[in-house]
Amino acid sequence: MELTSGTPFWLTQHGLPPHYPTLNHDLACDVVVLGAGISGALVADALAGAGLQVVVVDKHYPGTGSTSASTALLQYDIDVHLRDLRQRYSDADRADAALTTVYRAFRRLGAIAEELGPDAIGYQSTTSLYLASKRSEVRELALEAEARQQIGLPSHFLSEADVRTRYGIDRPGAILSDEAAQVDALRLTLALHDRAARHGTRLFERTEVVGYAADAGGVTLTTAHNFQVRARHVIVCTGYETPEWAKGIRVALKSSFAIVTEPIAAADRWPTGCHLWETARPYSYARVLPDGRVMAGGVDIPFDNATARDTLLRRRTHQLETHLHELLPRMPLRVDFRWGGTFGETADGLPFVSQHPRFPHAWFALGFGGNGIVFATLAAELIRAELVGEPTGEAPLFAFNRPGL
């Protein structure tokens, strides 16, 4: 499946990633990571850092799947409200624990960025403004901000007047999250693969895994060219492209669209350059790149047909421009890049970081929505803890069979 349409910005900006070899022999290791996008990179980095012998294989080039299409906003605010999550689970503690784990993963990613050097990966701290699209949603936002505060998240309700005075935006209310960040998804992925390589990880590109077999001691994966990788564990980080042998494990797929404008002077943008997003579904959102370009995305549609997505690219990205213009009427908007990508989300807005009875010795790090990069960090931490024998007890929160799905 083609995961992207149009011209994903990061690939255009940086060109194809560096060359890695293709696997042309059998090998053995502790852990094989399947997929070299941001999820595979975070997992490989965490496991290699813990002293495990790691091999990463990808059927394309590292980072050129959904990761290259990502607008890479980093937030602990997930798409499902905490209050809705509490209701969905009929268990406030479970909902609170899940969101707290997401917040910790967001902060862990900040620490990783510090280690890698924020400038090298385009990482910037910012804030996030979640706007009420309709007046009838204002009360819910106020209650949601309160619920998030109760579990220690730095979120505050802003009134219509606050939103207008501070941001020059005309919306009836908002939640301001004091902590958010943004990154260059492709550079982050490559920097993590680099660091994992320094810890001994071997990465093989253009190496498709077509077969999985498990026995008491581990797994044997077979590549399309009939080489075998023997490992104690496999971590499946194939994003929205579940391998043929694991069909049946997948989330509902969508297509999401994005644009990047020409650079816009700071005085013509919204103050602070915080993330903007909204309560409307499907939502759209915006961030500012280091050179002053505005990157916006959203207007998702529930299908994953790559050809149809190509056809719809112009229409959906025009819709994005219209949304942005309506939100920020005085901001000059000239679009330089447009693209679309495959996307998926779970009913409760949280990822699958899980084992599965049909696939012994395998962990899946899948089902990522609008917070895919933070969720991948969560997956990496959780799986690392499990494999080094220090389980945190959080795995059931993100299991395939959790309640409320």
Ligand X SMILES: Cc1cc2nc3c(=O)[nH]c(=O)nc-3n(C[C@H](O)[C@H](O)[C@H](O)COP(=O)(O)OP(=O)(O)OC[C@H]3O[C@@H](n4cnc5c(N)ncnc54)[C@H](O)[C@@H]3O)c2cc1C
Binding site for ligand X (CB under 6 A): 3, 34-40, 57-60, 65-67, 69-73, 208-209, 237-239, 241, 243, 256, 258, 297, 341-343, 368, 370-374, 376
φ, ψ dihedrals at 57, nearest 5°: -130, 145
Rounded least distance, CB 157 to ligand X, Å: 23
- Burial class from Cβ neighbours inside 10 Å (0-12, 13-18, 19+) for residue 277 reads buried
Compute the CA torsion angle 15, 11, 221, 209 (nearest 10 deg).
-100
At residue 87, φ and ψ (nearest 5 deg) are -70, -45
d(CA 310, CA 341): 10
Closer Cβ to ligand X, 13 or 164, answer by number:
13
Using Cβ positions, the residue closest to ligand X within the complex turns out to be 372
Choice between 345 and 394, CB closer to ligand X: 345
Contacts with 65 (C-beta within 8 Å, 6 or more apart), sequence order: 3, 4, 35, 37, 239, 240, 241
Q: SS3 for 264?
A: coil
In the complex, the smallest distance separating the C-beta of residue 370 from ligand X, rounded to whole angstroms, is 6
Percentages of the chain per state (helix, strand, coil), in multiples of 5: 35, 30, 35
Report the C-alpha gap between 255 and 239 in whole angstroms.
14
Q: Residue 113 CB, nearest distance to ligand X (Å)?
A: 13
Residue 283 token pair: 């939502």
Strands 173-182 and 124-131: antiparallel
CB 340 within 8 A of CB 304: no
Q: State the nearest-atom distance from the C-beta of 387 to ligand X, in Å.
A: 18
Using DSSP's 3-state secondary structure scheme, residue 386 falls into: helix
Residue with smaller CB distance to ligand X, 66 or 284? 66
Closest approach of ligand X to the CB of residue 82, in Å? 18
Nearer to ligand X, 158 or 192 (CB): 192
How do strand 228-236 and strand 218-223 relate by DSSP bridges? antiparallel
Smallest gap from residue 251 Cβ to ligand X (A): 11
175 versus 353: smaller Cβ distance to ligand X: 353
Least Å distance, CB 185 to ligand X, is: 6
Closer to ligand X by Cβ: residue 1 or 159: 1
Closer of 73 and 324 to ligand X (Cβ): 73
